[in-house]
């Protein structure tokens, strides 16, 4: 329920690549249940419950602030950072 790649690279690097390649449109997919069932759930709690330790470790390294956010806050943060 969060955009792909946040466990692989710092978000500023991802945005930098988008700008460098002159993208004028970014499509962010999302799950409807993110807004209906998990709106207040913390990313770290959800990922830990799914037993995806590698993803948690990757996010902790590349984008640590994401772990303390809710899924909706992450989505909102990504949208705001992409507003160029």
Dump pLDDT digits (tens) for 44-72: 999 999 999 999 999 999 999 999 999 99
Res 84 pLDDT > 70: no
Predicted TM-score (pTM) of this structure: 0.86
Give a yes or no: residue 64 inside a domain. yes
Asked if 65 and 1 touch (Cβ cutoff 8 Å), the reply is no
pLDDT band at 36; cut points 50, 70, 90: confident
Backbone dihedral angles phi then psi of residue 17, each to the nearest 5 degrees: -65, -40
Q: Residue 23: which domain range?
A: 11-82
Number of domains in the chain: 1
Give a yes or no: residue 38 inside a domain. yes
Task: Please give the Cα distance from 58 to 82 (Å, whole number).
Answer: 21
């Amino acid at each position: 329920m969060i955009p792909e790649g946040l466990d692989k690279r710092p978000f500023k690097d991802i945005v930098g690549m988008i700008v460098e390649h002159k993208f004028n449109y970014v499509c962010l997919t999302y799950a409807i249940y993110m807004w209906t069932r998990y709106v207040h759930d913390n990313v770290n709690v959800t990922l830990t419950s799914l037993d995806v330790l590698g993803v948690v470790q990757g996010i902790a390294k590349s984008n640590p602030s994401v772990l303390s956010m809710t899924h909706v806050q992450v989505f909102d943060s990504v949208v705001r950072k992409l507003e160029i």
